[in-house]
Structure 1
Amino acid sequence: MKRNIKRMLYIVSALLISPFTLICLMISVVLNKDAVFSSFSQLLSLLPGKVGVYLRAGFYRFTLTSCSPDVVISFLVLLSQRDTDIEKGVYIGPQCNIGKCHIGKHTLIGSGVHIMSGKGQHNFDDLNIPIKEQSGSFEKINIGEDCWIGNGAMIMANIGANSVVGAGSVVISEIPPFSIVAGNPARVIKSRC
């Protein structure tokens, strides 16, 4: 019964937010898709409580590459890239910044986590060009299923399935599956196997 009520709430929320979703998609045809998407994401992040969670799920379901209808995207979460996949049962805590990534099913992301679009977003090699004018490259970060990422972590590399990332950790190298990592830079401190 509870599952059916939740399913109905997600459907109603998707319908309620559909004018907002359509406006975003129409403006994206003319302007930079990620810039438009990011602006709409910022506005939606301000909606508090369960209403905000359901409306964000309804919006992201139709604007991201893929997004399960049952995700929980909390208050003040900013998504900056449309090329993002969020699978079933994902929880994203308040005040996160999410870049270009794939988040596997049943993954928990604590508050204040930053998932960057790789570690090459900004170049700074040419001393004759200001850093803000130097190009960079975006990489799609993969976070495996059933992971737990602690509060305040910064993710710049892939994380294998069934892994735990300690609070405040900075992940700059790929993490193998079933790992427990912590530190800056994050290192494997234990295996879950």
Structure 2
Amino acid sequence: MESRLIGFLAGRVQGLEPPMAIVRVGGIGYEVALSSAQLSRLALGAEVELSIRTIVRADAIVLYGFADVLERSLFDELLKVQGVGPSVALGMLSTLGVQGCYEAVAGEDLARLKSAPGVGEKTARRIVVDLGAAARRSGVPLTALAARSEVREALLSLGFRASECEPILLRIPAELGLEDALKWALKELRN
């Protein structure tokens, strides 16, 4: 069961025990499950900000960490797909990343989706149908969602913090292509 107990954590990396990182926040060490891509970006002692999704099960409470709300949002959408649990969703983010997931769904690339651990033919088809439907409901094309992921990476490489970028990324007009979306985001961040 999904819970919204913790929205984000900001603290210092105290330990790395794949697939977990231990993040020290105010004297408490939180174990956070991360994609392999996120884990590879962390270093002991580094300051980190993570969007968090808390999953409460009968036998455990697990924190899943994400670079931003876009990644967390995709994780949440994947969890709505029958047959996709937190481990499979995190595996997809590790294997494909946000942009790769959206591109695979937009292109109905089942082979690419099946490259993620735990995703077979039936699950890949469900992901294409369900994520496509979710994008239609939100009014944001899958290609625009993929572009937002690229804009995020570009902004981070320019030195902006994830917490600065998140509200901007969510407001990027859906009709903008990658280059225009980046220009729009930079303008918004400088205002």
Same-fold call, TM > 0.5? no
Question: TM-score, normalization: structure 2?
Answer: 0.32
The structure, 1 or 2, with the larger RCO (C-alpha pairs under 8 Å, 6+ apart) is 2
Q: Which structure has greater helix proportion?
A: 2
- Structure exhibiting the larger radius of gyration computed from Cα positions: 1
